[in-house]
Amino acid sequence: MNILLIIRLILGIAASALILNFVTLLLIGASRSIGAIFGMIPCGLLLLYAIFMPKVHARIAGIWKAGGKGKTALIVVGIFLLTGIILTIVETVFMVIYANRTAPESEKPPVVIVLGCQVRDGHASTLLQARIDTAYDYLVAHPECKCIVSGGQGPDETISEAKCMYDALVSAGIAPERLYLEDRSTTTRENLRFCKEIMEREGLGDTAVLVTNSWHEFRAQTIASDLGIRCGGVGAPTAWWLLPANYLREILAIAYQFVF
């Protein structure tokens, strides 16, 4: 078996597995992320590339040799792909760096801000439960900290994300007087803007520890800093089968945030 065939098999299997993952998430409603939809496009192209690799290489070589506009188009496509790869690598590095970052020193204990995620049939989704569990562990280890649970109620949710988190934390033993609800927000920026209002109103200081999934920490902490919240983060784990779609969505969201 030659090296080229091995590469084709690896690419084909990886692309097929990811497409199956995205389709499954959409069919069972486990993800409403654009990452699952967008992810099928590059994975589909990668699968076709793996299947027709020799023909694709021959076609590219012919266009390159012919020169002219075709060669220029190949250069433009190559630059576009290379830029996308570099941006993805850079964003990923920052996502890793910010996944667990100590909050700055402050006179008052940092406020734990738990960012909301989907509630399904009145219960926390897998991603949201991971955030709840991570927040619980942190609050137990830091009894001096207050906590804001943040997240509104979507059209397909029977209760707000904040209420779901509040009930879960209280049931687990966290004292209700340590908790504040922010149940109006629909985006990460609103999460943090409304949380800042609570922090100011209640005299909780300007420093926070953000609890969200690890891949979300970089964007969340960047937004918080823009709003004047001094922050660190404690990243919650993500189930492996949910990671690809959410990772791709976050890559797009980060790029969108810095461009617009």
| Domains contained in the chain, CATH given | 3-98 (no CATH), 100-239 (3.40.50.620)
**Confidence (pTM):** 0.93
Residues 6+ apart with CB under 8 A from 171: none
Residues 6+ apart with CB under 8 A from 37: 22, 26
What average pLDDT does this structure show over 116-136? 95
Query: What confidence tens digit (pLDDT) does each residue in 193-227 have?
Result: 999 999 999 999 999 999 999 999 999 999 999 99
What average pLDDT does this structure show over 132-140? 98
- pLDDT category at 72 given cuts 50, 70, 90 is very high
Looking at residue 33, its pLDDT comes to 66
Q: Regarding predicted confidence, which is higher, 74 or 33?
A: 74
pLDDT at 59 over 80: yes
Q: Identify whether the C-beta of residue 136 lies closer than 8 Å to the C-beta of residue 178.
A: no
Alpha carbon distance 216, 229 (integer Å): 17
Alpha carbon distance 103, 225 (integer Å): 12
Q: Regarding predicted confidence, which is higher, 26 or 125?
A: 125
Looking at residue 238, its pLDDT comes to 96
Alpha carbon distance 48, 53 (integer Å): 8
Question: What tokens appear for 195 in the block?
Answer: 């949380």
pLDDT at 11 over 90: yes
Question: What tokens appear for 3 in the block?
Answer: 């090296």
- pLDDT category at 260 given cuts 50, 70, 90 is confident
